[in-house]
Amino acid sequence: MKGSSAVAAWLLAASVAGADEFFLEKIEPLLKQRCYECHSHAGKIKGGLVLDSKSGWERGGESGPAIVPGKPEASLLIQAISHAQKDLRMPPKKMLPAAEIALLTVWVRRGAPDPRTGSPDAAPLQTDDAWEAEYHKRLDWWSLKPMRRNDPPSIADPLWSREPVDRFIKAALDDAGLSPAPPADDSALRRRLSYVLTGLPPSFHGDDHLSYESLVGKMLASPHFGERFARHWMDVVRYTDTYGYEWDNPAKGSHEYRDYLIRAFNDDIGYDQLLREHLAGDLLPEPRIHPVTATNESLIGPMFYHLGEHRHGSSLMFNGIHQEMVNNKIDAFSKAFLATTVACARCHDHKLEAVSQRDYYALAAMFTTPRWTARVVDAPGKNDAAIAKLKELRDAIRGEMAAQWTRRGAFQAPELKQWAAANAPALKGIGAPLATPDDLPKLAEKWQRLRAAAQKANAAFAPASLDGWVFEGDGFTHGKTKDSTPLIALEGDAIIARLLPDGWHSHALSSKLPGSLRTPPQHQMTGSHLSVQVAGGEFGGHLVVDDHAFQNETVAFYTNGEPAWRSFADAVLKNGAQQVAIEFCTAPLNPNFPPRTGLAKGLDNRDFGHDKRSWLSITGIVTHDTAGSPQDELDAFTGLYDSTHSTTDPWQRIAAWFSGAVARWCDGRPAPGDREVIDWLLSTGLLPNRAEPGTQLADLVADYRDTEASIAFPRTANSMDERQTQPARYPLNVRGNVDVTGDLIPPASLRMLPGRDAADRLALAESLLAPGHPVTARVYVNRVWQWIFGTGLVATPDDFGRLGGQPSHPELLDWLATEFVREGWSTKSLVRRLVLSQTFRQSGQVSPAAREKDPSNRLLHHHPTRRLEAEAIRDSLLAVSGRLDLRLYGRPVLPHRLAEDDKKRLLSGPIDGNGRRSLYLQMSIMEPPKFLVGFNLPDLKLPTGRRDVTNVPAQALILMNDPFVNAMAEHWGAEVAAGTGSDEEKLREMILRAFGREATEAEMERWLDREEPSSRAASKRDWAAVAHGLFNAKEFIYFR
């Protein structure tokens, strides 16, 4: 069919006399009919392309010229109308008839003759100018305008005049002719306060005798305040413990970030500091160290970027994956801190906001400049004392060993001859000459030949300059050793495990110390190849990192104790990647350890990789231009084969060789190769390597081992490392298409905000904190308002733009934001102000007038009844039943699952999560905790400033039948049954605990009523049934 139409079109074309006529008769009408609607000055100008003039298609649109005369297959226009590519189909909805496509194809093949000379619009289309005008129009928007300092209005009511917040609220109510609700009753208010500030029921706190003001102080000081507010913020930054997608890999150190938030809210760290740390904690000249936990808090902040979903592979493997992840980072940043939807500008200038596509890619450049890698978040110097002591002890042990070996005296020929005869299997490697002593002259010749060849070959390898290389972790910073430094064995009878060659050894003092060595991008190093001599074990290895990829699966784990060369040829950059670098790291500093199951051989699928010893040695780094790697120059045999020996007796020569090596080591002047000789002597037992009990040496070794044992495993988290990096330039993706790249965009902030020139993340953070910034404080204050009142002054906390809501009380929002900054960005001060307000203390009574005039309560004429969040429901079940474990912090607790899938690490935990609060449950993107999902735990991939509250039957089924709820009822029932007091007293106490108020008589009758005759004392089962009933009361999951 298609073939015949094409032929028909050819005939048609041939029958037209001139090329111009062909265009005017056949092509122009077609363009007018099919294309002008969207691609002409009379219609729209989509994609910047006009077809109403020759110059229009010559210049083309955003994707370049539309037609290559003579080459239909290379012409975008023909590709588009053929619907050959999925994302370039014109007309988008319905394909043109085959005959028309054929006609246009013929026209292009004939050179696209087009007699139109002028252009309907003489001025060339200036899309930049059009954007410029639009941009300035869009700046006229409330959230971009400077904050105004408003004095709180004066109102008549003295009670409502005390707190400025109340004056703003009351004035607006007065204007609307409405009155506030009467104050809430005491028990309702205390319950409300308890949930709002701590997410726990009031009975948990006790102290019903405290005044309200004192209770506020007490709850603000409670460590559970930090848990509650951390969880709020975790929604905003899309907190997750895993990376989802196909393998749900653990997000390294996510819990460190969660605990960092808890500490920060409890310590009332200013929001300005938190913002700085989130965006650029790694760049702060003075990191914030938590004094009690010895944590480098600032370095944890950038884990914020790593949250969300990560894909697999790398940018070089599948183009598009990396860009999607970048989009998620930009989305999270702009929504969380700016309530702006910058991610919409990935494919085109924003449809509604003053955000251009270049703005988007400028942020992409800024965020992809640093290495996205793991950092040690222990306070710097945490292990210094132990490390210094280990070094001293190692020196002392070395001294004792040297003395012991000196005492042993020189090796004797008969001794070795006799030993060799008895130990034939050991005569390999260094020991090989002992197997054939008569061949020494021949071996010497061979050695000299090989050595010369190796030396010659090695001339091609230049020692690499370490400019731009970055070391991380105590393992490497304290692991640079001189040749033949002893590695002290951490267990067993042997004292020296081996001698270490010159180089970096993360385990030189302790294999708990982490180490990472990060190379500059390959193309910045000299030579086309890099070779590194490495040894390692226990999941020490390297990653090849494409473009600072967030999740990189090109990983190798070393299992060689003897150093071996590994070569890396410069990668071919493709799929838009800008650079490739390599990270050599022990497991704790490997940002993707543990990797997907199966990639780390020997690691059980159920092992999350915490607290692992891991080690890595780097003993040579060279660059070169041809494939291959340096060869062993056989230094170890120099002492045997070189010609300075005075004797020709082979055994004497061997004895002298060994003795010389040991003597030089004892003297502190080892020669190259002595290390291998001594290691062999140690491995064969020819050199003593033990301490007699009670000797000073034994004490030193014991002390060494005790000191090593006292070192804690390192705490690490995925963060940023921008040291020694060059600013990235991110390719603009034309129409968001990753295969069509435009300009390389350098880092910058958003043009519409102050500080557009910010070129790195720290400058970006500081620009957001500049005095009078229109957005930063407003956005955060609005979030806090929502956390207290349920709805923000702006109801869309993540979007202050044109699709978002307008502030209900703009003057109040500005007043609060200004005051918040003035009070040092203190969250607690702000919260205190809000919960002490009369506005907060209102009851939920709604007057008919208020319901009529302001049904959505934007003016706050009452305090709305709210359902508890998922976490608060589960935590209340734990707290009320007495099962709550109050411990703070720690690694995620696996949620209970009915089925496990260990390949994806979807493993099951205890039914009650060990009683831990819900924010400690493992938040797996792939399968989040089901109980919490049932009550609207948000999508873990996306920033969620405000949760949905649904009301569905599945929630009833959970509370009626979930084994966890049942277990809590039984737990509580057993406790009540075992307690003292009458049934009435017990029930009163239960109701008080569950609802935070005294029981009513109707309730007492209702729940004391039992199935069986009441002569029998109530059993555990009876009380469990009551407990289960109270859990299912709506009052349990709502507060008013």
Partner 1 sequence: MKQNRTNAMPWSSDVPQTATPRRWQTAPLSRRCILASASAGFGLFAFRALAGAEGPLPRHHHPGRAKNIIFCFMDGGPSHVDTFDPKPALKTHQGKPIGESAVTKRSQSSANRVWLGSPWEFRQRGQSGLWVSDLFPHLAGVADKLCVVRSMVGELPLHGQQNLLLHTGRILGQAPSLGAWVSYGLGTESRDLPGYVVLNNDWVPNGGLENFGSSFLPASHQATQIRARGIPVDNLAPAAGLAAQQRTLAKLAAQDREFAGLVSDPAAIEGAIANYETAWRMQSAVPAIADIGGEPEHIKKLYGVDSTDEHQRFYATQALRARRLVEAGVRFVEITCPSFDGNNSPWDQHGQIKKNHEKNALITEQSVAALIIDLEQRGLLDETIVLWAGEMGRTPHTPKVSDTCGRDHHVNGYSIFLAGGGFRGGFAYGQTDEFGNAAVENPLDIHDIHATLLHQLGLDHEALTFRHGGRDHRLTDVHGRVIREILA
Residues 318-377 that bind partner 1 (CB under 8 A): 318-321, 324
Task: Determine the interface stretch with partner 1 among 274-282, 778-786, 944-952, 980-988 (rule: CB under 8 A).
Answer: 944-952
Q: Answer yes or no whether residue 952 interacts with partner 1 by CB under 8 A.
A: yes
Rounded distance, CA 991 to CA 684, Å? 76
Q: Which is nearer to partner 1, 335 or 394 (CB)?
A: 335
658-687: which residues touch partner 1 (CB under 8 A)?
Answer: none
Nearest approach in angstroms of CB 984 to partner 1 is 16
Nearer to partner 1, 750 or 1025 (CB): 1025
Instruction: Kindly tell me which residue out of 517, 544, 762, 965 binds partner 1, with binding defined by CB under 8 A.
Output: 965
Task: Please pick, from the candidates 157, 927, 992, 1019, the single residue that binds partner 1 as defined by CB under 8 A.
Answer: 927
Number of shown-chain residues binding partner 1 (CB under 8 A): 79
Nearer to partner 1, 715 or 993 (CB): 993
CB closer to partner 1 out of 689 and 808: 808
Q: Is residue 573 part of the contact set for partner 1 (CB under 8 A)? A: no
For tokens 């500490």, the residue is 263
Pattern 829-848, binding to partner 1, x per CB under 8 A? ---------------xxx--
Residue closer to partner 1, measured from CB, 309 or 583: 309
Alpha-carbon distance 84 to 992, whole Å? 70
Residue 82 C-beta: closest distance to partner 1, Å: 11
Cβ(261)–Cβ(920) under 8 Å?
A: no
> If you ran DSSP here, which 8-state letter would residue 24 be given?
I
Give the three-state DSSP class for 31. Answer: helix
CB of 532 to partner 1, least distance (A): 27
Pick from 754, 714, 500: nearest CA to 609: 714
Decide: is 690 part of the binding site for partner 1 (CB under 8 A): no
Give yes or no for a contact between 580 and 544, defined as CB atoms under 8 angstroms apart: yes
DSSP state of 496: E
Could you tell me the smallest distance in angstroms from the CB atom of residue 350 to partner 1? 13
Contact with partner 1 (CB under 8 A) among 118, 463, 953, 1013: 953
What is the footprint of partner 1 within residues 985-1014 (CB under 8 A)? Answer: 1000, 1002-1003, 1005-1007, 1009, 1011
| Residue 281 binding partner 1, by CB under 8 A | no
Which residues, 43 to 102, sit near partner 1 by CB under 8 A? 86, 92-94
Cβ proximity to partner 1: between 510 and 944 the closer is 944
**Closer CB to partner 1, 431 or 807, in the complex:** 807
Q: Of 5, 458, 955, 1019, which lies in the binding site for partner 1, with binding defined by CB under 8 A? A: 955
Identify the H or E element spanning 556: strand 555-557
Say whether residue 604 binds partner 1 (CB under 8 A).
Answer: no
Q: Which of residues 246-275 bind partner 1 (CB under 8 A)?
A: 246-248
Under DSSP, is residue 569 helix (H, G, I), strand (E, B) or coil? Answer: strand
Residue among 244, 247, 245, 240 at smallest CA distance from 599 = 247
How far apart CA 873 and CA 871 sit, in angstroms, is: 5
Distance CA 868, CA 880 (A): 15
Answer yes or no whether residue 974 interacts with partner 1 by CB under 8 A.
no
> Pairing mode, if any, of strands 866-867 and 1038-1039?
antiparallel
| Cα atoms in the 13 Å half-sphere on the side-chain side of 494 | 17
Q: How far is the CB of 26 from partner 1 (least distance, A)?
A: 27
The tokens of 214 are what? 């004192």
CB 187 within 8 A of CB 998: yes
- Which residue, 84 or 424, is less far from partner 1 as judged by CB? 84
The residue (of 93 and 209) whose beta carbon lies closer to partner 1 is 93
Interface characters, 885-914, with partner 1 (x: CB under 8 A) = ------------xxx-xxxx-x--------
Our finding on whether 1015 is near partner 1 (CB under 8 A) is no
Least distance from C-beta 1034 to partner 1, angstroms?
A: 5
At 358 the three-state DSSP class reads helix
Q: Which is nearer to partner 1, 672 or 844 (CB)?
A: 844
Nearest distance, CB of residue 1015 and partner 1, angstroms: 16
C-beta closer to partner 1: residue 311 or 548: 311
Window 782-801: residues binding partner 1 (CB under 8 A): 799
**Helix (H), strand (E), coil (C) string for 556-591:** EECCCCCCEEEEEECCCCCCCCCCEEEEEECHHHCC
CA angle 727, 731, 733 (to 5 degrees): 150
Distance CA 570, CA 572 (A): 7
1016 lines the binding site for partner 1 (CB under 8 A): no
Closest contact distance (angstroms) between CB of 422 and partner 1 is 49
**Residue 85 identity (one-letter amino acid):** Q
Q: Which is nearer to partner 1, 93 or 601 (CB)?
A: 93
Count of CB atoms situated within 10 Å of the CB of 890: 11
CA–CA dist 1004, 983 (Å, integer): 10
Q: How far is the CB of 211 from partner 1 (least distance, A)?
A: 24
Site for partner 1 contains 948 (CB under 8 A): yes
Which segment (403-411, 448-456, 663-671, 951-959) binds partner 1 by CB under 8 A? 951-959
Is position 962 an interface residue for partner 1 (rule: CB under 8 A)? yes
| 140 Ramachandran zone, left/alpha/beta (phi>0; psi -120 to 50) | beta
| Least Cβ distance, residue 1 to partner 1 (angstroms) | 11
Nearest Cα residue to 524 out of 471, 578, 566, 567: 578
**Binder to partner 1 among 39, 138, 191, 311 (CB under 8 A)?**
311
Place of tokens 């978040």: 377
**Rule CB under 8 A: is residue 864 a binding residue for partner 1?**
yes
Instruction: Tell me the C-alpha distance between 788 and 863, whole Å.
Output: 10
Which range binds partner 1 by CB under 8 A, 134-142, 652-660, 700-708, 962-970? 962-970
Q: Whose structure tokens read 């150190």?
A: 253
- The Cα–Cα gap between 260 and 749 comes to 27
**What is the rounded distance in angstroms from the CA atom of residue 970 to the CA atom of residue 776?**
48
Stretch that binds partner 1, among 168-176, 388-396, 455-463, 943-951 (CB under 8 A): 943-951
When the beta carbons of 310 and 613 are compared against partner 1, the nearer one is: 310
Q: Which two tokens stand for residue 264?
A: 């920060």
Give the span between the Cα atoms of 576 and 435, in whole angstroms: 58
Q: How far is the CB of 987 from partner 1 (least distance, A)?
A: 12
Residue of 33, 865, 982, 1014 that binds partner 1 (CB under 8 A): 865
Residue 1035 binds to partner 1 (criterion: CB under 8 A): yes
| 715 lies in the site for partner 1, by CB under 8 A | no
Asked if 849 touches partner 1 (CB under 8 A), the answer is no
Residue with Cβ nearer partner 1 (169 or 261): 169
Instruction: Tell me the C-alpha distance between 766 and 300, whole Å.
Output: 18
Nearer to partner 1, 247 or 447 (CB): 247
Q: Which residue has the tokens 């650079």?
A: 579
- 488 DSSP β-pair partners: 496
Please return the burial class of 755, using the count of CB atoms within 10 Å of its CB with bins 0-12, 13-18 and 19+: middle
> What are the two backbone dihedrals, phi and then psi, of residue 290, each rounded to the nearest 5 degrees?
-80, 120
Region 803-822 residues binding partner 1, contact defined as CB under 8 A: 803-804
Token pair 């990192």: residue: 545
- Residue 922 CA to residue 937 CA, distance in Å, equals 13
Quote the CA–CA distance of 661 and 484 in Å, as a whole number: 11
Q: How far is the CB of 851 from partner 1 (least distance, A)?
A: 10
Tell me the closest approach of the beta carbon of residue 895 to partner 1, in angstroms: 13
Token pair 């979930």 is found at: 962
CA 911, 915, 917, 921 dihedral sign is negative
Q: How far is the CB of 952 from partner 1 (least distance, A)?
A: 5
